[in-house]
Amino acid sequence: MGDAEPYIEPTPALACRDLAVGYGTRIVLEGISLDIWQGRWTAVVGPNGCGKSTLLRALAGLASPRAGTISLQGRRLSAWSRRERARRLGWLAQTSAATDLTATEVVALGRFAHSGWLAHRQADDDAAMHRAMLATGSLAWAERRLSTLSGGERQRVHLARVLAVEAPVLLLDEPTTHLDPPHQEDVARLLREQAHRRGVSVVSAIHDLSLALTADRLIVLGHRGVIGHGTVRDALAGDWLSAAFETPVHVVDHQGVHLWRPALEPLGRD
């Protein structure tokens, strides 16, 4: 889809080689090698429990790998200092915490890697926060406490916090959870815009297959590792989704839009 547009020549912003990650005695991912292209929005899809979150956590440096290497902008992830890394990698967790902080205070935490412990907010911090809250439509709740917001509103504040980092690489675990379909589309549009207009490399786990198929690239994960990594066209041509979910997955082309079609037929009676 989007890959027909003229981009700058893609180079990997984030790459891993022979990555193995696990918790305790359980190995969740093994032998993963991926290049995350710069200026593209990559969606990670796969069945529950296949390790989407684990992959994103590992790429963000939050789960230390058992084996293999991860490099960020050509340099080993562990070689970056904590603050340098935090300025380059934005991370959105799957659960959006309901804290007593106000939306503005939460978004300001996104500037921590820039301003540090003591510094007061500078004009550029304020500008970045304003842009991020405008883009996510969360300015209206700027002074509301997060615990008083709905799940979807909270999710947008957290998204604003990630955008406020202004990192070249964004790793988002299910950024569209808790959002109603129109707002899911808003987020998808936002991610595409970040990738295409600002050259940000966006990687997001997405549950909704139709939404995931609007991304530039797909990483399809199955229970036995990466089924495929490429453009949406590659994924559909190779039927990667059926392989990943271990059941036939039907995608229909509706006027150029790829839609996931449930196999379950409608009832056909009232």
Partner 1 sequence: MELGTGHHESDASARLGWWLISCLAITVLLTLGSLLIGTSSIETSLGWLLSPDAQSSVVLWQIRLPRSVGAWFAGALLGLAGAIAQGVFRNPLAEPYLLGTASGAALGVTISLIAADASMTGLAWASRLGVTGAAFIGACGATLLTISLSRGVLQTAGLLLAGVVVAFLLGALTQLLLLAKPEIWRSMQTFLFGSTGFISWSSASLLGAVFCLCVVPAILLSRGLDALTLGEDTAQSLGLSLPMLRLTLLGVVSLATATAVGQVGVVGFVGLVAPHLVRETLSVNHRQLLIGAPLCGGALLQAADLASRWVIRPAELPVGAVTACVGGTYLVLLLWRRSRDG
Is residue 129 a contact point for partner 1 (CB under 8 A)? Answer: yes
Is residue 257 a contact point for partner 1 (CB under 8 A)? Answer: no
For residues 27 and 38, what is the distance between their CA atoms, to the nearest angstrom? 29
The smaller minimum CB distance to partner 1, of residues 201 and 210, is found at 201
Where does residue 236 rank: exposed (0-12), middle (13-18), buried (19+ CB within 10 A)?
middle
Residue 49 region by backbone torsions, left for phi larger than 0, else alpha for psi between -120 and 50, else beta: left
Stretch that binds partner 1, among 17-25, 41-49, 115-123, 180-188 (CB under 8 A): 115-123
Is residue 83 a contact point for partner 1 (CB under 8 A)? Answer: yes
Is residue 93 a contact point for partner 1 (CB under 8 A)? Answer: yes
How is residue 247 annotated by DSSP?
Answer: S
How is residue 145 annotated by DSSP?
Answer: B
Is residue 67 a contact point for partner 1 (CB under 8 A)? Answer: no
Per-position DSSP letters for 101-140, written without gaps between them? SBHHHHHHHTTHHHHTTTPPP-HHHHHHHHHHHHHTT-GG
Is residue 228 a contact point for partner 1 (CB under 8 A)? Answer: no
Is residue 89 a contact point for partner 1 (CB under 8 A)? Answer: yes
The smaller minimum CB distance to partner 1, of residues 168 and 228, is found at 168
Q: Taking a C-beta distance cutoff of 8 angstroms, is the pair 3, 216 a contact?
A: yes
Binding site for partner 1 (CB under 8 A): 57, 60-62, 82-83, 85-87, 89-91, 93, 95, 97, 99-102, 104-106, 108-110, 112-113, 117-118, 121, 123, 126-127, 129-130, 133, 142-143, 145, 158, 161, 165
